[in-house]
Amino acid sequence: MRHVFFIAGLGTLLCASTANAMPPVADTVFTNGFIYTVDAKNSVAQAVAIKNGKILYVGSSAEATRYISPHTQKIDLHGNMLMPGLVDGHMHPLRGGERLVLCSLQYLPLTKQEFSDRIKACLVDPAVPKRKNWLLVTSWFQEAMRPKDTILDKTILDKIDNKNPIVVYSSFGHSALLNTPALEAAHITASTKSEPGGEIIHDAKGQPTGLLEDTALNLIFAAQPAASDEQKVAAARAVLTVLRKQGVTSFLDARAAEVDIKAFSVLQQNGELTARAHFAPLITPEMGQDAKKSVDYVKGLSTRYDQGSITQQPTITVRHAKMYMDGVISAPGLTGILTLPYRINKGTVEHPDWQPGSSTGPAPYFPVPVLSKLLQGLVQAGIDPHMHADGDGAVRIALDAVEVTRKALPKSDFRPGLAHDELVAQADLPRFRQLGAIPVMSFQWGKRAPDTTGQTADALGEDRSNAMEPAYQLEKAGARIAYGSDWPVDPLNEWFALQVGITRQNAPDVEPQYRARLGDMPGLSRASVLRAITMNSAYELRQDSVTGSVEQGKIADLIILDRNITTIPVNEIGKTTVLMTMVGGKVVYSSGEFVPKTP
Ligand SMILES: [Zn+2]
């Protein structure tokens, strides 16, 4: 009755009964597709209708015709797969963006000579942007240098240029190599100490070799000229181009500085933001000693930049904080925190005898009492903690602090993310479910590669290196597994990552020693990896009620694929191409096959 009154009040000629019976008219209807919904049952539908950026209907192509009027765009999918847009729950977009524009070593396994030649070429290439007189080099695959066990120092860079600073960043982001002018600019001498959680490598005479690890990198970050605001915005724009093409419709920047948030905010204001952008400002171990100050810092950024609840149009969200629990368990870093010691060679090079040493890695970056206090402050401020935890010791520290926080704040609904979890102790597997902690896994690491075999396997031992990347065990123990590419640690290829998540195997064309599976732990199912990169990551980012699946009432973040990844041979998933990306009902990318217009 209220409805009748309302319509009469507007003076329309429509009679109430017609208004009630007529289904709403869709802006766009996709029919004849393989719509993989990622709803609770992983249902498959044929059609989806969209109105005002939201999903009006999901079901059969025949039923969908009810929503079609002469003004509706009808797109015949010809059987193509359509699924929810990808949600990347952990990446470093602007670091990736800078790699798209700065001098890059392209993650290649290089010899010393090749390393040197490539940097020399960048130095004279006018197309490679410099920061004042500094040359910054990215994507150095330090672990894959040839021959095996090659360790570099500043002399290789000094031979290229000993007047102007050169800094080479490893692709893992946990180490950097500096030449002498860069060491001088960062005021690093024999007596300089790193803050906790890092190391300045010294030679036998006590002089810095040019290699910095983990938090010691802060010394060079502080010294090197920053990108200009324009350079940052340009890098953010380059990032979005790449994400659209991969089908990424939401992401978490897992270590956001204010300038990063600002760059994406500029694009948001220009109407150029084509993915839902979430940011986790970094709380360093040093800052974290003062919980209140740290919380105020994140809250301040949230107040300035967060745009509130998720809408059809992509916005900026600042509702996470990032903390590093450790470094990486891969050699030569071995900066991950373990529950049991790394192994050391007690024999000779010819006759190795690997035995447990005395080191379980660095001292905790955040001791449990410090972390617990910090987490409680963050949770009370409505901020979800996002913790890098690579070794099983670091994972345990994070879980212990989450447990303390749950007990202290039993009514708080917080969603702690534990990123990477390359090793998890058996006893800690069920704790993820019990504590509502979300493992944010980077599936592509679960394969044989220079960082999981060789020195790394020697230092971890066979059992632990076979148990790396325990997504399967975590899922079995009831954890809700989310996904984060960690780009640009690896080149961005979300589809290859999903493939490795299923196969635990490298690409068929890699060097022979990397072709076998990694250990005998099963991989995840196709349904599980697809859920991880959609619904579960949406859950991590608190947008699972509005995105992450193709369901009526949700926002239309959708992608169309060139192949059906639920049925093709598993080794072809990595070659998937996205044909169209839609965010909030708006087409932000099309390869040309499907070109719906935005109403
Ligand atoms: Zn990361």
Q: How far is the CA of 17 from the centre of ligand 1 (A)?
A: 56
Res 1: pLDDT: 30
CB-CB neighbours of 467 under 10 Å: 21
Closest Cα to residue 596, out of 82, 49, 24, 30?
Answer: 30
Whole-angstrom distance, CA of residue 536 vs CA of residue 555:
16
Q: How far is the CA of 486 from the centre of ligand 1 (A)?
A: 5
Q: How far is the CA of 254 from the centre of ligand 1 (A)?
A: 6
Q: How far is the CA of 66 from the centre of ligand 1 (A)?
A: 46
Decide if 200 contacts 212 (C-beta within 8 A).
Answer: yes
Q: How far is the CA of 45 from the centre of ligand 1 (A)?
A: 35
Res 14: pLDDT: 39
How large is the C-alpha radius of gyration of the chain? 25
Q: Cβ contacts of residue 457 below 8 Å, gap of 6+?
A: 465
CB-CB neighbours of 338 under 10 Å: 24
Q: How far is the CA of 391 from the centre of ligand 1 (A)?
A: 14
Q: How far is the CA of 91 from the centre of ligand 1 (A)?
A: 6
Whole-angstrom distance, CA of residue 125 vs CA of residue 128:
6
Report DSSP letters for 471-519, one per residue.
HHHHHHTT---EE---TTSS---HHHHHHHHHH----TTS-GGG-S-SS
Q: How far is the CA of 172 from the centre of ligand 1 (A)?
A: 8
Asked whether the CA dihedral 563, 564, 569, 574 is positive or negative, the reply is: positive
Q: How far is the CA of 550 from the centre of ligand 1 (A)?
A: 28
3-state secondary structure labels for all residues of 426-468? HHHHHHHHHHCCEEEECHHHCCCCCCCCCHHHHHHCHHHHHCC
DSSP state, 574?
Answer: G
Q: How far is the CA of 491 from the centre of ligand 1 (A)?
A: 13
Q: How far is the CA of 71 from the centre of ligand 1 (A)?
A: 45
Res 21: pLDDT: 67
By three-state DSSP, how is residue 216 classified?
coil
Q: How far is the CA of 86 from the centre of ligand 1 (A)?
A: 18
Q: How far is the CA of 96 from the centre of ligand 1 (A)?
A: 11
Res 364: pLDDT: 95
The number of C-alpha atoms within 13 Å of 1 and in the hemisphere containing its C-beta is 0
Res 598: pLDDT: 67
Res 3: pLDDT: 35
Asked whether the CA dihedral 473, 474, 477, 478 is positive or negative, the reply is: negative
Q: How far is the CA of 8 from the centre of ligand 1 (A)?
A: 58
Res 480: pLDDT: 98
Whole-angstrom distance, CA of residue 215 vs CA of residue 185:
17
DSSP state, 533?
Answer: I
- To which residue do tokens 């059609």 refer? 47
Q: How far is the CA of 400 from the centre of ligand 1 (A)?
A: 21
Decide if 335 contacts 364 (C-beta within 8 A).
Answer: no
Whole-angstrom distance, CA of residue 547 vs CA of residue 582:
12
Q: How far is the CA of 22 from the centre of ligand 1 (A)?
A: 50
The number of C-alpha atoms within 13 Å of 54 and in the hemisphere containing its C-beta is 11
Q: How far is the CA of 484 from the centre of ligand 1 (A)?
A: 8
DSSP alpha helices (H): ranges in 81-196? 93-101, 112-124, 154-158, 180-185
Res 4: pLDDT: 31
Q: How far is the CA of 389 from the centre of ligand 1 (A)?
A: 10
Res 129: pLDDT: 82
Closest Cα to residue 526, out of 480, 559, 469, 565?
Answer: 565
Closest Cα to residue 425, out of 507, 340, 350, 359?
Answer: 340
Digitized pLDDT (tens) for each residue of the chain, 599 residues in all: 333 333 333 333 333 344 456 889 999 999 999 999 999 999 999 999 999 999 999 999 999 999 999 999 999 999 999 999 999 999 999 988 888 888 999 989 999 999 999 999 999 998 888 888 999 999 999 989 999 889 999 999 999 999 999 999 998 878 999 999 999 999 999 999 988 888 999 999 999 999 999 889 999 999 999 888 888 998 999 999 999 999 999 999 999 999 999 999 999 999 999 999 999 999 999 999 999 999 999 999 999 999 999 999 999 999 999 999 999 998 878 999 999 999 999 999 899 999 999 999 999 999 999 999 999 999 999 999 999 999 999 999 999 999 999 999 999 999 999 999 999 999 999 999 999 999 999 999 999 988 888 889 999 998 998 899 999 999 999 999 999 999 988 889 999 999 999 999 999 888 888 988 999 999 999 999 999 999 999 999 999 999 999 999 999 999 999 999 999 999 999 999 999 999 999 999 999 988 777 66
Q: How far is the CA of 67 from the centre of ligand 1 (A)?
A: 44
Whole-angstrom distance, CA of residue 348 vs CA of residue 34:
59
Write out the two tokens for 100.
């798209």
